[in-house]
Each structure stands twice: as structure tokens, then as C-alpha cells.
Amino acid sequence: MGRIVRILAAAAAAVAVGGVVMPGAGPRTLAEQAPAAAAAPADAPPVPFIRPRPEWDRFQILVWQYLTDAREDLDLYKQAGFHGFHIDRGAGKESTVAFAKEAGFPYYVDHAADKGYLHLTERTGVGSISRKKSLVPRPYSLADPKTLEIMKEHLRKNIAVTKEGPVLAYAFDDEVSLGIFNSPCEVDASPLSVAGYRAHLAKAYGTVERLNAEHGTAYQDFAEAEPVSFEQVRGAHAAPPFAKWNLARWMDWRGYMDTQFADCVGALARYANTLDPATPAGFVGGQQPAPYGGYDYAKFTRQVQWIEAYDINGTCEILRSLWKWPGRKPYVQTWFSTGQPRGDAWFLWYYLAHGCRGVIAWPDRDGSWFHWKGGGLAPFIAAGAETIREVQGDVSRPILDPDRRFDADPIALYYSHPSIQASWAMDAVVHGGTWPNRSSSLDNGCQTAARNRAAWMKLLEDCGYQYNVVTAGQVAAGALGKEKYRVLILDRAICLSDAEAAAIRAFAEQGGTVVADHLTGVLDEHGKGRATGGALDGLFGIRRDESAGYLDGKTIAEIDGEKYSKPLLERLSYAGALRRDGLVLYERGTRAGDAAEPVCALATPAARGTAVYLNLTPVAYYDAGERLGAFGDRWRDLMGGILRKAGLEPRAKVLSGGRPVPMAEVVWWRKGDSVVVGLVKNPTRDAKIDSAGAIDDVFGEPLEVTIEFARPFKALRDLRAGKDLPEGRTVRASWKPWEALLLEGTQAE
């Protein structure tokens, strides 16, 4: 949870444990290094699900103890409506635990595995890994059992004290990473890590011949396999054709590092469970999916039992989807006050409605929320006290009931981490040799795969639909059929395995609708180009001619990260792009049969189903102005028509004065026949971790709205007002766009 790092560094530096494992002089090649023992290959089983503790039966606001001490500021906490906080580490904090028990203040424990191992600091050698083009060892390698033992010792000491009170969760550390957030740090070239990688390759490929065929190498044995940095593959991957690309050596290495990260946090979670079996263990300050840092959500979400991750480009909905009922693990947000009560109210209501079990409050905006400029509460916190109390009250219980599930439409949105890696390689082209400077903050705003994913999420929500994010592994294992999806959206699915492609074709042939935006399956799951075209070109009925280029015909980087300081629309490579009805075509040379013009929204029958190749990019939909204008109307008309042809209609429409209300989102939570319906404003948020981000259009004035449901409700009740409503298909209500309207009723599936 992104506390401001410069503040925490001083506290972390005061705790000196062990020496720093720094890179030193050694053999010239990694193959010549001989570790004593290799880390075991990955694929560890998932950690067990731990049901939230009884104290966590409702939304919780946990105040981070910065510029405040809950014991000393107890009266101010009560005035504001706060009744939860955090304990740092825990050893020696017996009096704080006693206070929590007496006051009835639940808490989470931060830095339970100390600071400096999962989040490197100056003390633990972070300076040795930043902005390097070549591979370097990670100080305190996560492949080294000694590193794990250091963290376990801290867990033992800290949990021994804090488990005696109303503890909600343990966080190993804050803003954890293999390197520095998700900045491109080329770790971990330590001998144990490289040995683990070689064992991983042997398990994945089986024979060295198969490895050589994929990597384009001539190894005689897996012991010769060498990991590579991005610099070693960059030069050959700056332009089309993708058919000749081969990122496999880099992507396999990055994928193994993601596995190493997941295995490490999984081992810590299992150890924490031995010390306190009733309390979930995880981490805070999670980043968006990226090639660096360890943030492959398909992997690490299996190895932790709760998380606080910044909602950057859809991480909240990824977590909600991957942790859906019945193993509904807690996920929370960081709350940085906007300084405006309405902005703060929107944040709290929005994330409650989306299933967050609470927020961790960073209590500083131009001075502590407490003892504000020498006085009492900060005025914007005092003004929001009513909301702070209400969101933590009984109204939150129906949504956060562990036995209630998010009730999505049968729409699956694809999560392919190899595609995120390959897309990042495309983004990095604009930087040339300065790619190591592509910081985490720059990547948050300029990662094309991320903005593409977020644009799809907003588009589906604006069309009146909800969805689940599904991973590549889930699809290959048959989840589309087992979970009865009707529509699969392949959002920038650049990399597809043969198994994924086969499962997707089967889904379409059995009656499903497959919608792809662009570049679908041009690389395999390791990042190697397909000489015969995309893995699903036959399904879509298309043929590719890469000589015509992409977008403006001059670049493959959709978002120009060198223009990071400019607004999003000025960063997009659209100046010379082809357009259809105002929408940007991505592939200039992809055609259907002998057609002369590039395809656009081509629908092809597939036995009982349909395959639609858009050849469009929705990234600009992320921009609030485009979303609310003619561009947004065209995208909603297009996708609304495709979804209706697939047999899906919105389950609710929100109108005011007979017209649709922009950015009005309806969410659904079901438990048997009981359904909770939430209406919230759904703005575009900027991708930031150190503030609330820019939140557009959440204020305005109260609206008289009509919600028209496709199916009638019985025993309908307004949860906030505590009053019964007429049964039927229509609800009329006064709605404040900075708050949520919450209804509960009976509606048969």
C-alpha cells in the first residue's frame, strides 16, 4: 500500500537485520556458476482459502499510523467514525494489541516479514539493481532459502504478539516487488535463481531439442541455458513482421521470475498459517500486471490469501474475478483523501459496491487528518464522518457476505500475461536504448495492454454488462464451457498457445461468440512468431499482410511513452491511421479473402457460434472526453449490437428524464434468489498510486433516476433508507452520483 516511500525509508533503515547480499565479481557467464542447491521448479499448489474473521463481517477503514497514533487520538477517531488501524511489525507491541482489544479496534499487521526483503531499500541494496541493461543478482535473492528464513523469523516474532488481538490480516510487506515496483529491473541473476530457471525449463520443455526449437538456440543440455535481459532481444524486435519475432528467451525468463515471486509469497503464507491458522496472509501495495516486478495475477493470486492492490487499469476487477465465490478472498484499496467530501464519499461507496472489504487510509493531505493545523479533525474528514460511519455499518454486510457472489453476465474478458509481456516489448520500441528508464509510474500511464484492458472494462460496463476476467490457463482447462460463458473477448491477446486456441475454437463451435480486437495470436505463449499467421486466423476468416504496417504505418507502439507528460490522446499513434466511422483500425493489411480493404468488425460463422474480428483499438475509450462523445457512442453501438446478437441484453437500464445516464454502472451480487443491486457512478480514473488519481464527473447534482430491470423483483428493499419498495421491473429513486444506491430483493436465476 503505497505509503510515500521516502517517509518509510527512514523507518526501515532503523531496523538493521543481516548483511546485504550484493553482486560481486564472478565467472563471466552464468553457465559457469555452480550453486550448491537449485530452487525447486514452480507450480506450487494454491494456498488454502481462509474465511474472513468474524471482526471482518463488514467494510473496514483501517487508518495507517502516520502522523497519528490511535491510542492518543482515540477521541478524534470516534468523531470521524474510524474504528480500525494498523500495527507495524508487531514484536514489542503488546500494549498496542491490548489497546485494540479494549477499544474494539481491529487491525492489520504491515511489514510482518519486515521491510527490505520483498521491498528492497537502500539498506538492502536497491541501488544495485536500478536502470541496468544487463542481468544482475537481486540483493536477498528470493531463490535463496536464507532470505526466506530471515522473513520467516520476522513473521514468527511479529505474529506471536499480534495474533492475540482482533487481527484481520497479515501483510508481509508494502509495495513488494522483485525489483522496484514494476519498473524494468533485470533481476535475478544469482546462481540459485539461474539454477531454478534451468530446472523450470527442463520441466516445461521436457527435452533440450524442444527448448532449442523455441528459443532458437543450440544448447546441448539444460545446464547451458542462459537467461537474457530485454537488451539482448530488443534490437531484433523493433518492427514487423511479427511472424519473425522471437521473444521466448526473454519472456520465459520473466515468466520464471514471476513464478519465483509467487512461490516465495506462497511459502510465507503457508508459514504464517502455521503460526495463526485463522488469519489470511498476503501483502499490500500491489501493482498493475506488468513484465517486471512479479505481477502476473494469474500466478501470485493463487499464493496469497488477501491483498491491497492499487486499482490501476483494472486490478480491482481482476482480483474480484480470480477470487470469486466460493473462495472469496478479501481485497482492499488504499484511500487517499481528495480533500473534498463528495470525492471521498464516491471512493468509499464505489469500492464497497465492487466488493472491496475495506480500505487502508493514508491519513495525510497537506498535514495529518488529526490535529489539523493544530486543531481537531481535518474539515474534509469531519464533513465526511456520516459517510465514514455508514459504509462501515450494516449496509455493507449483504455485499460482503462471504457466501454471496458477484453476479456477472456470461462474458469472459481474457487475461494473458504473455500478451502483456509482448505488448510491453512493443511499447518499449519508442525508448530505444533508454528502456531501463521506463519507470513504474510511466508504465502505469503508458502501458498499452493495461489501457486497452481498462478501456474494455469501461466499455462493457457502459453498455450495461458485467463480466469476469478469465486467465489463459483457465480457458485452456475448459472454463468457458464449464462456467457457461456466452461471449469471450480477446483483448490484445497477442500470445496464444495451441491449447488456448483449440479451446477458443471449441467454444465458438459449440455456440459461443468470440470477439477479438487486434493482433490476436500472432505469437505463441512464449513470444515466438507464427509463420502462418495468427493462431485463430482461420476461425476469424482473415489473412494477414504485415507489409502494410500497423496504426499509422510507422510504429508498433500504440502509446508513445516518450510523450508521457502529454494527455493520453496526444500519446496515441493515430495521426495517419486508417479509420472506419471514426474508429481506429489497427492492422492496415488484414483482409477477408480477396477483399481490397482491411477488415473491420468482420463476423464469421463458426458452426453454432460466431467469431468477430474487430481490427480496432478501444484504447482511446479510456479518455473521459472520448468516452462521453461520439467516439464512445460508436463503440457502444458496435459492442451493444454484437452482444445482443449473442443473445445478451442488459439486465438494467438507468434513465433520467427518459435518457440514459452517462457513466451509471449497475453491479449485481447474488446469494441464492437474493440479489443486491448497486448503482454507482463509474468515472475514468487516472492510473496513480500516490493519490486518488484524477476522478472525472462524480459530483454534479442529485438525479431523479428510473432503473428499468429486464426481470421483475419481489420483496425489494432500499438498504440505505431501510424501506420497502414496490415490486416489479421499475424503481424510481433520488440518486446522489457521489454515493451508491443499494437495493436488495428476490429475483430467480
For 597-634, give the DSSP string. SPPSSEEEEETTEEEEE--B--GGGGSHHHHHSHHHHH
Report how far residue 264's alpha carbon sits from residue 188's, in angstroms, rounded to the nearest whole number: 14
Does residue 6 have a pLDDT over 90?
no
Q: Which three cell numbers stand for residue 19?
A: 548483511
| pLDDT at res. 33 | 36
State the cell numbers at 139: 540483493
Of the candidate ranges 128-132, 664-668, 684-688, 745-749, the one whose mean pLDDT is the lowest:
684-688
Reference 397, options 360, 359, 357, 361; nearest CA is 357
- Is the pLDDT at 23 greater than 50? The verdict is no
> Which contacts of 567-573 are long-range, i.e. CB under 8 A and separated by 24 or more positions?
567/623, 568/445, 568/451, 568/620, 568/622, 568/623, 569/620, 569/623, 569/625, 569/626, 571/446, 572/619, 572/620
Q: How many residues does the chain have?
A: 749
Tell me how far the alpha carbon of residue 704 is from its chain's centroid. Answer: 34
Q: Which of 79-88, 420-429, 699-708 has the lowest mean pLDDT?
A: 699-708
The reply to whether the predicted model has a pTM over 0.85 is yes
- Of 649, 652, 698, give the one whose Cα is nearest residue 677: 652
192 phi and psi, to 5 degrees?
Answer: -65, -40
DSSP element (H, E) containing 668: strand 664-671
Q: Determine the average pLDDT of the residues in 68-73.
A: 97
Q: How confident is the model at residue 748 (pLDDT cuts 50, 70, 90)?
A: confident
Domain extents for the chain?
Answer: 407-645, 652-746
With left for phi above 0 and alpha for psi between -120 and 50, is residue 485 left, alpha or beta?
beta
Which set of grid coordinates corresponds to residue 23?
Answer: 553482486
pLDDT at 471 over 60: yes
| CB neighbours of residue 4 within 10 Å | 12
The phi and psi torsions of 637 (rounded to 5 degrees) equal: -65, -45
Examine the pLDDT at 134 and tell me if it is beyond 80.
Answer: yes
What average pLDDT does this structure show over 166-173?
Answer: 98
- 636, pLDDT greater than 70: yes
How far is it, in rounded angstroms, from Cα 344 to Cα 292?
32
Distance between CA atoms of residues 348 and 386, nearest Å = 12
Q: What are phi and psi of 54, to 5 degrees?
A: -55, -30
Average pLDDT over residues 212-233: 98
Unique residue bearing C-alpha cell 532470505:
147
Query: At residue 9, what are phi and psi to the nearest 5 degrees?
Result: -60, -40
Q: Are 361 and 62 in contact (CB under 8 A)?
A: yes
Which residue's entry shows cell 481535518?
A: 378
Top-level CATH class of 407-645?
A: alpha beta
Residue 685's pLDDT band, with cuts at 50, 70 and 90, is: confident
Question: In which band, very low, low, confident or very high, does the pLDDT at 89 lie, cut at 50, 70 and 90?
Answer: very high
What band does 59 get if pLDDT is binned at 50, 70 and 90? very high
What pLDDT, on the 0 to 100 scale, is given for residue 684?
87
Whether residue 251 is predicted with pLDDT greater than 90 in this model: the reply is yes
Q: Place 196 in a pLDDT band, splitting at 50, 70 and 90.
A: very high
- For domain 652-746, give the CATH number: 2.60.40.1180
Q: What's the average model confidence in pLDDT over 193-221? A: 98
For residues 552-580, average pLDDT: 97
Please state the rounded mean pLDDT for residues 113-139: 97
Determine which of 30-39, 348-357, 461-470 has the lowest per-residue pLDDT on average.
30-39
Q: Is residue 452 scored above 70 in pLDDT?
A: yes
- The whole-chain average pLDDT of the chain stands at 93
pLDDT digits (tens, 9 = 90+) for 604-623: 999 999 999 999 999 999 99
- Sequence-ordered strand ranges (E) for 224-362: 281-286, 307-309, 331-336, 358-362
Q: Is the pLDDT of residue 20 over 50?
A: no
State the Cα–Cα distance between residues 622 and 473, nearest whole angstrom. Answer: 27
369-407 pLDDT, tens digit each: 999 998 899 999 999 999 999 999 999 999 999 999 999
